[in-house]
Structure 1
């Protein structure tokens, strides 16, 4: 599909930045009003985990949306959305470390070893660290094509995030099933693109 030149929306980045902070602001408001429910730690953990996965899927959705719509300016938001995914993952992990395990190293290591959903989630967090650390313009130039290869780890991270959520829930799997379906469509689109386009075109994907 050919792309069409379109104008970058004014104040787009500040707007996306502010909107991306709204879930955190809402959680802080609920905490201030003591409206996090009977189990505040569980609520915080689930909400931050949900937004981690949502921002990860939004990041993966940028390239397909850009190709289908021809709006090249969408690429300008991809890095910010990816960093917000990492930000909410850090909050999610922080809730677990601080309020659930109280920074007890032995309990944390035991949990990682014995609970598969925590093992998978922690692995996804570790894989996100090099992606966040190499998201600057300087690192993009320094790594060259290796930057694209490294950042394709986001596909695996997305899978780990969905599996983490799926294994976490005990009964109703409707939400993780929805995320799994969205991730399948996003990755399936990329697989289709790579199959029908030249290797040169495929290198521009993420």
Structure 2
């Protein structure tokens, strides 16, 4: 099953998980996400947006692209995710979009309610793994910081994760109540979710992260 990898502006990682990109994946950049992909040594299939942020306009225009006016109804990230999901039969990964401008960060986060959250969201500051029902994380370090929070603004879930300094047992998670800066007490972490999906977030995107931990 193919997936889309969407590169966007904002804080992005300095490297990607070794097993992130598979044959048949669709790679698309939203405006300055082209710069991030280029810095990572990635050649994208398509570039979309108004091209007001990329530093490589001429190079971006040489790729298959869709150019929009700067005054438009939707953000470049919206357009990229919308386009990406028409090209794949699986989900998508979001690379970038972390920090810098709060309004952009919140707007990006709001897109997860419209298109569904990404299976993996890599920013400059954290690796966010989507959990819809159950996921086991291995090869962790004892004491490693981890946060758990809803994958959409309106998401609500009951969460169980026992291998934590502050264990979660049928914890009612919402945007106003999530597990911030918890820490792993074991080298593995099992997360059970009932309800809406959540993100399990490890600070700083790590090279050893796997697409499926």
- Greater helix proportion: 1
TM-score range, shorter chain: under 0.3
Given the two structures, how large is their TM-score scaled by the length of structure 2?
0.24
- Normalising by structure 1, we get a TM-score of 0.24
More strand by share: 2
